[in-house]
Structure 1
Amino acid sequence: MKPRKQHVVLLWMLICSGLTEGIEPISTSIAVGMAAALTGFLASYPNILYYFHECCRPEWISFNKTGLQKDLDSKLFGQHIASRIVLKAVNGFMNNDNPKKPLVLSLHGWTGTGKNFVSKLIAENIYKEGMDSSFVHVFTSELHFPHASEIETYKSQLQQWIKGNVTNCAHSMFIFDEMDKMHPGLIDSIKPYLDYYDKLDGVSYRKAMFIFLSNAGGESIIQTALDFWRDGRDRNEIELHDLETALSLSVFNNKKSGLWHTSLIDKNLVDFFVPFLPLEYKHVVQCAMAEMEARGFDPDKDVADQVAKDVIYFPKTERVFSVKGCKTIESKLDYYI
């Protein structure tokens, strides 16, 4: 008779919890028998351990295209360009068994427009544990690389960290937040890992994913969106080609950005520069409604409008775009509900 999963779990808990010691000195044969049973079962079902501990296997890492598309459509507001690029880029990469290089996405836009949120959605639809996965690694410039005088040390540490984690799991994800605050030159230390190499020192990086998040380039994105608005054109008419060239140049030439004159851009190793448009009043309302739903409340349009009206908009005369996007919605909502 095939053992049931709950029996295996119980047996595993008994062995791992040390309960076999607690039943001594009744009989050592009980512990021996349990160990033998577990050993025999594991021999018959060698993959059972993967149910109990996250591993670099399909049981824990599996791309859900439908889930990502649904999340982008229902949870991300006002970002038609970013949604389209991210879905196509991640889907194409994850369904390629032999990619030529890692996937490198550089997400740009003003604060609160959804860059971190999209990174989270990507992780949740690839890794069973989402952002808590041991294969998702987040670096924040001011926390992990605070001192300019230590840049050479940071370069070495970063290389070792990436090499070690990719060696452990080829499908590792690395998220670099606050790229606009990173010391120029530091990110170039990982250039070889992003290039078109089969292997480097015996390690292949081609199935890894690198995501850079930055406010750099936000001004050029805002200017384009504002030009469309002043011309009476719908923001959904904005296409990637309206932004991409100016965005990449703006980021490359920004001396205060970690991507300033970086070889990652110079050598075309960034697969997509993903622009995040500034959010309008209606998007802030949508964010408030979504947050209420996430908290288990019935979305209330009147409350959402109150929250949206409490947000600061720019330019001062037109008041078109939210200064902080949807970043403060969660805390502001506490005041109204």
Structure 2
Amino acid sequence: MKATHLYLLLHVFLSTSVLVSTFEPFSTALVLGIGATLGRTIYNYLHESCEPKWIALNATGLKVDLDRKLYGQHIASRIILKAVSGFMSNDNPKKPLVLSLHGWTGTGKNFVSQLIADNVYKEGMDSSFVHIFTSELHFPHASQLETYKSQLQQWIKGNVTNCAHSMFIFDEMDKMHPGLIDSIKPYLDYYDKLDGVSYRKAIFIFLSNAGGESITQTALDFWKAGRDREEIELKDLETLLSLAVFNNKKSGLWHTSLIDKNLVDFFVPFLPLEYRHVLQCAMAEMIARGHQPDPSVADQVARDVVYFPKTERVFAVKGCKTIESKLDYYI
């Protein structure tokens, strides 16, 4: 269907070009105008633009993805769905959406960022309006902090000017130089415009291992008390998490004004994964590779993962992070 539409557009465009030479001079301008309009239509059909055709939330798709693909994260799933759906359905938000995702490695923070992008942008993570910053790659030298601040401000301003519905993902926040993220604080605040640019429709996502100890300890306390992990609620973690992150001197959010001024909309905890969740990850990876899911292989992979505490072996140290490489050994 897409190819047919494209063929028709090209046919009409080429026909218009031929007609230009047959029209009288006073009509040529009109025909050229029509041709230019068709040219823009073809270009916009093929190339991503900051339009609803390319950027629109698929709320149902996001819910299905969170329910079926994110394992062991009942709190995160609920927060992400409500936060993103509420923000994207608001035509006039008062500020950008700011999410701070916390938890040990392999628990799904990066994966959730991908799910959000996939259900907001037609091109997903490949969208030219989704921007990823990694601390060790983009901001490696502490001596260049002031330069990084200026560059970061310009990068964000330029991209939001280009498209109001831009998404910025900051990975490895726990490795970011303290003070750097404060340079974009004005862009996250309740301003209508700054230097003629509105940032209120942008999405900012921070990913960090900081606070993982607090989250894990809470999950462990529930397990020791014989309580199900699904009983853990956001209220059991949110205040504890924000304080742990704010006071972590090794975190890019250490004493940040973003927390002090309440500009982070949600601190989203990602719980440590158990054997059953690692098993689900292994089965999903086999399906993703086009293999028939084999429970016995998934069990072998899940058992091969390192768990803690050492005696009880309750939580996977690296979550599902090593599942892909471990499957290579068993398949």
Where on the TM-score scale, by shorter chain, does this alignment land: which range? over 0.9
Q: Aligned partner of 1:127: which letter?
A: Y
For 1:327, what is the secondary structure of its paired residue?
coil
Partner of 1:18: none
| 29 and 78 in structure 1: CA distance in 2 versus 1, 3 angstrom threshold | closer
Give the aligned partner of residue 114 of structure 1. Answer: 108
Q: In structure 2, what residue type is equivalent to 1:66?
A: T
Native 8 Å contact 2:13 2:38 kept in 1: no
In 2, Cα distance between equivalents of 1:226 and 1:207: 38
| Partner of residue 277, structure 1 | 271
d(CA) in 2 for partners of 1:304, 1:95 = 40
Q: Tell me the CA shift for residue 47 of structure 1.
A: 3.7
Which residue number corresponds to residue 177 of structure 2?
183
Give the conservation status (yes or no) of the 8 Å contact 2:9–2:38.
no
Q: How far is 1:334 from its partner?
A: 1.1
CA positional deviation for 1:298: 1.5
| Letter paired with 2:312 | E
- Show structure 2 runs of 5+ residues with no match: 23-27
Q: What is the 5 A alignment of 1:280-299?
A: 280-299=274-293
Question: Is 1:254 matched up with 2:248?
Answer: yes
Aligned residue number for residue 49 of structure 1: 43
CA contact (8 A) 2:20 2:32 kept: no
Q: Is the Cα contact below 8 Å between 1:12 and 1:38 reproduced in 2?
A: no
2:125 paired residue among 103, 126, 131: 131
- The Cα shift of 1:32 comes to 6.2
Relative to the length of structure 1, the TM-score reads 0.91
Measured in 2, the distance between the counterparts of 1:43 and 1:75 equals 43
> Does residue 164 of the first structure (1) align with residue 148 of the second (2)?
no
Q: TM (normalized to structure 2)?
A: 0.92
- Distance in 1, Cα, partners of 2:32 & 2:106: 51
Task: Give me the whole-angstrom Cα distance separating, in 1, the residues matched to 2:288 and 2:145.
Answer: 41
Give the whole-Å Cα distance in 1 for the aligned partners of 2:71 and 2:13.
45
State yes or no: 1:84 paired with 2:78: yes
Q: How is 1:1-337 mapped onto 2 (pairs within 5 angstroms)?
A: 5-8=5-8, 10-11=10-11, 40=34, 43=37, 47-337=41-331
- Secondary structure of 2:205's counterpart equals strand
Letter in 2 for 1:232: G
1:108 maps to amino acid: H
Secondary structure of 1:125 counterpart? helix
Structure 1: 4+ residue segments shifted above 2 A: 6-15, 28-33, 35-49
Which structure 1 segments of 5+ residues have no match? 16-27
Q: CA shift at 1:30, angstroms?
A: 9.5
CA contact (8 A) 1:289 1:300 kept: yes
Deviation readout 1:263-297 (Å, 9 max, x if unpaired) = 00000000000000000000000000011111111
* Conserved 8 A contact 1:307-1:332: yes
**3-state SS of the aligned residue for 2:114?**
helix
3-state SS, counterpart of residue 274 of structure 1: strand
Code of the residue aligned with 2:135 in structure 1: it is S
Contact 1:50 1:59 in 2 (8 A): no
Deviation of the 1:145 alpha carbon: 0.3
Give the whole-Å Cα distance in 2 for the aligned partners of 1:242 and 1:273: 12
C-alpha distance in 2, partners of 1:123/1:184? Answer: 27
Distance between the aligned counterparts of 2:245 and 2:12, measured in 1? 53
Question: Separation in 1 of the partners of 2:13 and 2:305?
Answer: 52
Cα distance in 2 between the residues matched to 1:12 and 1:117: 43
| Aligned partner letter, 1:201 | D
Q: Distance in 2 between matches of 1:32 and 1:72?
A: 57
SS of the equivalent of 1:232 reads coil
Q: Secondary structure at the match of 2:120?
A: coil
Identify which range, 162-171 or 49-58, moves more after superposition: 49-58
